[in-house]
Amino acid sequence: MKTTGLNFLISDKPDLERDSVAEAFAERGGAVHRIGRFGTRRFSTVRVYGADSFCLVLQQKLGLTLCSPHDELLLRVPSEFLKRRITHRALGEISAITFPSFVKPVVPKQFRGAVYQSNEELAAECHGLSPDTALFVSELVAFSAEARTFVLDGRVLDAAVYEGNGEASGAGTFVTALTHAISLPRTVVVDVGFIDSRGWAVVEFNAAWGAGLNGCGPKKVLSAIVAASGPGCDSHLSAENSLA
């Protein structure tokens, strides 16, 4: 893909993965801007990549729409692609949860996703949160390998095992099958894990604009990252955006 005429906004903090994506962007003709603070400099035809806090501030200031998976997308995954029991609970229903269980918030980063041994332990972690805080509750399974895949327009651009031992090609084939079974955002990162005796399973979905490479090739996945803040994801940028 060509990036000529596009401006790539990233943080000025050093990061090997992010810098490799920026290098691939520049090689294809685009201009890379490393931002240390949000001032009044003006850009046109913007694409962004980085941490949530960085990109979400740019989203607000520039009025762009970032392509992100729905918080509850995991609940729409067919059981044959989950290979474990996952239920949707509210924090106020904590007494109905069977422990130990893996619990994480539906809305990311509200509390620490982890294995909780009791409702008391989970209640302490979630102290101060509303009783209607939505939770994912999963049966305990062990992943012998975890892999990251970047998907654009239903096609897996690259897959890499970032933890444990497994075949990246198998993860890619599994996610390709998933794209035919469920409607996904135009661009998305799908993390999968291998459960011994069960096979590959969906772990979670992430936004391509903020996901690390985790072993995937920057040149291979660049188009997914660029698309995550560009036209086609309901992102209609004005001719010129300001960081005022």
* Domain encompassing residue 184: 73-78+142-206
Give residue 240's pLDDT band: very low, low, confident or very high (50, 70, 90): very low
pLDDT in tens, 172-202: 999 999 999 999 999 999 999 999 999 999 9
Domain identity same for 126 and 156: no
pLDDT in tens, 3-40: 999 999 999 999 999 999 999 999 999 999 999 887 65
Give residue 63's pLDDT band: very low, low, confident or very high (50, 70, 90): confident
- Buried/exposed 153-169: b ≥16 CB within 10 Å, e otherwise: eeebbbbbbbeeebebe
Tell me the C-alpha distance between 160 and 18, whole Å: 17
Tell me the C-alpha distance between 86 and 19, whole Å: 36
Give residue 231's pLDDT band: very low, low, confident or very high (50, 70, 90): confident
3-state SS assignment for residue 152: strand
What pLDDT is stored for residue 40 in this prediction?
55
Domain count, the chain: 3
Q: Which residue has the tokens 């895949």?
A: 149
Q: Is residue 193 in some structural domain?
A: yes
Domain identity same for 43 and 18: yes
CATH code of 114's domain: 3.30.1490
Q: Is residue 212 in some structural domain?
A: no
Tell me the C-alpha distance between 211 and 225, whole Å: 9
- Phi, psi of 220, rounded to the nearest 5 degrees: -70, -35
DSSP per residue over 65-124, as a string?
------TTGGGGS-HHHH-S-EEEEEGGGGGGS-SSEEEEESSTTSS--EEESSHHHHHH
Domain identity same for 130 and 146: no
Q: Is residue 185 in some structural domain?
A: yes
CB 103 within 8 Å of CB 122: yes
Domain identity same for 201 and 147: yes
- Whether the full predicted model's pTM is greater than 0.85, yes or no, is yes
